[in-house]
Amino acid sequence: MRQIMMLLAAMLFVSCSSEENEVMAQTRQEKLYITIDGMTKTATMVDNAATQELVTRLQQAPVTVTLNSSGGFEIWGALGFSLTTSNEQVNAQPGDIVLYNGSNICMFYGTNSWSYTRLGHIDGLSENELRTFLHASESNISVTLSLNNTTGISQVRAGESQSKSYTLQGTIAQAGHKGIIIKNGKKIVR
């Protein structure tokens, strides 16, 4: 029985097309997080020199680029740095992310065929969802690329009522709350 199972597993492995094996071998485990207008989506990266260099850069800090729609099928723009290319004729599909001319990133919501370096594919969005997420047909789209989906507080604004007290967990401290609270930016022990 064990020999039959081994034979079946070997046959299944061999039956995969070479293209499927190549795509499986190229897929990275790390995700690329793409944030546009406060919405974040993930992309699965391929494994090549360009993505390895991009990951190294993103480990230092997220990268924000300004992209523009072009041709009715993509948003694209300068990364501000170059990556190693391994260009090949690519039939880009909605969701594909590619490197163009070594220093431009393209994200597709339509299709196009050209010589690109593959970077990855945006996960789980239909063509209509991609058009919305990528702000199809718009200009000056601010896109942040990162390796994690953490959000930080970039700005704090005082509300109309500054007399509220907050717990260390960030919830409003009810009257009679015992412990440490924050009121008007100061720590108070009750």
- Look at strands 27-36 and 39-46 and give their pairing: antiparallel
> What is the rounded CA–CA span in Å between residue 59 and residue 74?
26
Assess contact for 180 and 168: CB atoms under 8 A: yes
Closest to 158 measured CA to CA, from 182, 190, 188: 182
What six digits make up the tokens of 93? Answer: 């599909």
Phi, psi values for residue 67, rounded to 5°: -115, 155
Q: How far apart are CA 115 and CA 89, in angstroms?
A: 4
Average pLDDT (24-36) is: 71
pLDDT, the chain, mean:
82
pLDDT reading at 78 higher than 50: yes
Mean pLDDT to the nearest integer, 141-150 = 87
- What's the CA dihedral at 60, 63, 126, 93 to 10 degrees? -100
CA dihedral 114, 117, 121, 127 (to 10 degrees): -20
User: How confident is residue 7, by pLDDT bands cut at 50, 70 and 90?
Assistant: very low
62 in Cβ contact with 145 (< 8 Å): yes
Tokens of 41: 């989506």
| Confidence class for position 21, pLDDT limits 50, 70, 90 | very low
Range in 26-40, 42-56, 127-141 with the lowest mean pLDDT: 26-40
Distance CA 165, CA 175 (A): 9
Which residue has 């992310």 as its token pair? 97
